[in-house]
């Protein structure tokens, strides 16, 4: 039975709660990276009842989805019509940790040099965005201020400007680590052909340039951080169906198939799954671009999890 069934009541299209949730999520995923403005999302959700309640109902639905582990945000400037976007990521840590624990974990990852950890782990966007550090001269005892600015620059890929050993420096930061002399910044100094280290306690007049002004630091992709590769559950071969146009996207998110077949405009892929929750999240991310054919145990898990969003 189709998830997109509809019925007429009171002169308006009415959707069941499960169908509404699925329809909204599928539309948000398909609209990436542009997002969907409120009027169009209201039309997709097809709420019944008085018009004055629709926006409030939509906000409540978004809050419920975020509470269930999704990351849906309004990207429109203040005072303008809301435009909602869904951000992909493994949500297990967001559900298991408190906001305070998430903040500490993100800070630890920054100190360890992994500036993209928060986004990969689904932690980004759960708390208040840290304020931009005030660009001012750091007093002799203000080494914590220098470290805060360095961490801010690492998180947002900002170029750093500071005085070190009486010389002005322009540095593209890579990571920081604790040493015997305090915290050490490792980065590429502009005009130099090698990576250098700077003790943050000895940095003065620290200034942060705009986000994304720092050169990207090449790092190999860390497969062990992809939850789909984790062996959490007993391995099972799952068959999914897609179209030739979406095949690359499906294989990128679900993994390289062990078997495939092409039948006119339909592509069937067999995927070895060892982490069912991560697999379900990727299926939700793909939305209408993929259909799970079997086994029935996986299909039942997908349906039960969607129904749990209604609780």
Residue 135: which of 84, 210, 202, 197 has the closest Cα?
Answer: 210
pLDDT score of 266 more than 70 = yes
* Residue 172's pLDDT band (cuts 50, 70, 90): very high
What pLDDT does 106 receive? 64
Residue 306 has which token pair?
Answer: 């969607």
Q: What is the pLDDT of residue 139?
A: 34
Q: Is 151 exposed, middle or buried (0-12, 13-18, 19+ CB in 10 A)?
A: buried
Q: Give Cβ neighbours of residue 11 (< 8 Å, ≥ 6 apart).
A: none
Q: Confidence class of residue 140 from pLDDT cuts 50, 70 and 90?
A: very low
**Residue 237: strand pairing partners:** 272
Q: How far apart are CA 287 and CA 193, in angstroms?
A: 46
Residue 252 has pLDDT above 50, yes or no: yes
Each as own residue / partner, the long-range contacts of residues 195-203 (CB below 8 Å, 24 or more positions apart, any chain) are 196/171, 198/162, 198/164, 198/169, 198/171, 200/143, 200/146, 200/147, 200/150, 200/176, 201/143, 201/146, 202/164, 202/165, 203/138, 203/143, 203/146, 203/150, 203/162, 203/163, 203/164
Query: What is residue 237's predicted lDDT score, i.e. its pLDDT?
Result: 94
State in Å, rounded, how far the first CA of the chain is from the last one: 22
- CATH numbers and ranges of domains, the chain: 7-86 (1.10.10.10), 226-308 (3.30.70)
Reply yes or no on whether the pLDDT at 99 is more than 60.
yes
Top-confidence range, 75-84, 92-101, 243-252, 269-278: 269-278
Q: What is the mean pLDDT of residues 168-179?
A: 86
Q: Write down the H helix ranges in the chain.
A: 17-30, 38-45, 54-67, 92-96, 99-111, 117-120, 143-156, 247-254, 276-286, 296-308
The pLDDT tens digits for 36-72 are 888 888 888 877 655 556 788 888 888 888 776 677 8
């Amino acid at each position: 039975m189709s998830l997109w069934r509809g019925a007429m009541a009171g002169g308006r299209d009415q959707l069941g709660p499960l169908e509404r949730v699925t329809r909204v999520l599928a539309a948000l995923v398909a609209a990436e990276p542009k997002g969907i403005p409120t009027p169009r999302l209201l039309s997709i959700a097809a709420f019944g009842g008085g018009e004055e309640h629709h926006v409030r109902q939509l906000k409540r639905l978004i809050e419920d989805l975020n509470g269930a582990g999704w990351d849906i945000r309004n990207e429109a400037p203040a005072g303008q019509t809301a435009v909602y976007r869904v951000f992909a990521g493994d949500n297990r840590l967001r559900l298991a940790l408190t906001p305070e624990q998430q903040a500490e974990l993100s800070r630890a990852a920054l100190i360890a040099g992994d500036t993209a950890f928060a986004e990969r782990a689904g932690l980004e966007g759960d708390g208040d965005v840290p304020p931009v550090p005030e660009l001012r001269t750091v007093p002799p005892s203000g080494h914590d201020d220098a470290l805060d600015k360095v961490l801010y620059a690492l998180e947002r890929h900002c170029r750093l400007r500071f005085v070190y050993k009486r010389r002005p420096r322009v540095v593209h930061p890579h990571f920081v680590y604790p040493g015997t002399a305090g915290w050490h910044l490792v980065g590429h100094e502009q005009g130099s052909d090698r990576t250098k280290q700077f003790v943050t306690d000895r940095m003065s007049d620290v200034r942060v340039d705009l986000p994304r002004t720092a050169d990207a630091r090449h790092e190999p992709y860390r497969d062990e951080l992809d939850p789909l590769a984790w062996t959490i559950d007993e391995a099972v071969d799952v068959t999914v169906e897609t179209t030739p146009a979406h095949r690359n996207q499906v294989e990128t998110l679900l993994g390289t198939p062990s078997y495939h077949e092409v039948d006119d405009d339909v592509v069937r892929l067999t995927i070895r799954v060892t982490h069912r929750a991560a697999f379900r999240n990727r299926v939700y991310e793909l939305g209408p671009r993929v259909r799970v054919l079997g086994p029935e145990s996986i299909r039942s898990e997908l349906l039960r999890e969607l129904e749990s969003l209604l609780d």
